[in-house]
């Protein structure tokens, strides 16, 4: 692989800043192509705010080709009360701490699904999953 030449004024601070932002900008580029060209780019749920947060390290960088997580939009009909949703949110939040070495959802989802079934909460995994994921994403940022 060929190394890109740097201008004379380039220094280690520039390199460090670029290393922090390049992957986030790459994701932004793929999303932009997907938005404007039908058969190009990738839908990554990436927007400017995501790019900035990833670039400064405020949120974890998703794996390549894995769309950004977008929080669940809660609807009153989904659960009768917060009390009904809380076990799934709690489970996801705790999983973020317990499985900090697994930084991406796809590598953890099957294990969490099996663990959720063992809890016998009365809520099936497909119903609980968006809330578990929301708790997990929240836990990763705290």
Give pLDDT tens digits for 80-105: 566 777 888 888 888 888 888 887 88
Give pLDDT tens digits for 111-138: 899 888 888 888 889 888 888 888 888 7
Write down the pLDDT at residue 113. Answer: 92
Give pTM, 2 decimals.
0.53
Q: Is residue 1 predicted with pLDDT exceeding 50?
A: no
Write down the pLDDT at residue 110. Answer: 92
3-state SS, residue 55: helix
């Amino acid at each position: 692989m060929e190394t890109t030449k740097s201008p004379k004024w380039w220094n280690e601070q520039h390199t460090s800043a670029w290393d922090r932002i390049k992957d986030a900008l790459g994701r932004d580029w793929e999303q932009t192509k997907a938005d404007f060209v039908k058969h190009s780019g990738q839908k990554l749920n990436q927007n400017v705010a995501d790019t900035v947060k990833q670039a400064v390290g405020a949120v974890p960088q998703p794996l390549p080709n894995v769309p950004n997580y977008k929080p669940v939009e809660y609807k009153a009909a989904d659960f009768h009360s917060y009390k009904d949703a809380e076990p799934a949110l709690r489970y996801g939040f705790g999983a973020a701490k317990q499985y900090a070495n697994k930084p991406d959802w796809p590598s953890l989802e099957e294990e969490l699904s099996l663990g959720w079934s063992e809890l016998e909460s009365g809520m099936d995994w497909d119903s609980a999953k968006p809330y578990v994921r929301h708790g997990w994403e929240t836990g990763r940022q705290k």
